[in-house]
Structure formats: structure tokens, C-alpha cells
Amino acid sequence: MAIPLEEGQYLTQENYLKWQDEELEKIKKYVGESRYTSGKFGLATQLLQNMVFEAKFEDFLTLKAYEYI
């Protein structure tokens, strides 16, 4: 499924993953390699990605994260 965005682009799973990688690189550059690697950025990315790609969107976005707190 492709959702139209401004400027003729579409939100697709492929574009989402591409943009996610671009944003994660910006975060890594901002916080530094060491902090990025030792932090929970990978877990947070996976949790968000799982929620975005689920067929049914969760009412409470934090529920799946509780087991990691």
C-alpha cells in the first residue's frame, strides 16, 4: 500500500525504511557512535517499526515497550 505525500512522494514500506536509516544516521552523528551503540536506539527502532508495519495500530503506543522498562 502506498500513501501519497506532498511533493509527489509516497509512503511505502521501502521509503519508510530508507527514511528511517537516514534519520538514524543523523541521530548517531548527533549523539556520537559510543552513546548510540550503548543506548537503546536499536530497540526503540524495532519497536516503532513493528508498530508502524502492524495491520492494526495499537491504541497505546507504550504497551509493547513496558517489558523493556
The Cα–Cα gap between 30 and 1 comes to 33
Identify which of 45, 49, 10 has the alpha carbon closest to the alpha carbon of residue 26: 45
Across the range 34-48, mean pLDDT stands at: 95
The Cα–Cα gap between 63 and 51 comes to 11
State residue 6's pLDDT score.
87
Across the range 33-54, mean pLDDT stands at: 93
Q: What is the pTM of this model?
A: 0.80
pLDDT tens readout for residues 2-39: 889 988 899 999 999 999 999 999 999 999 999 999 99
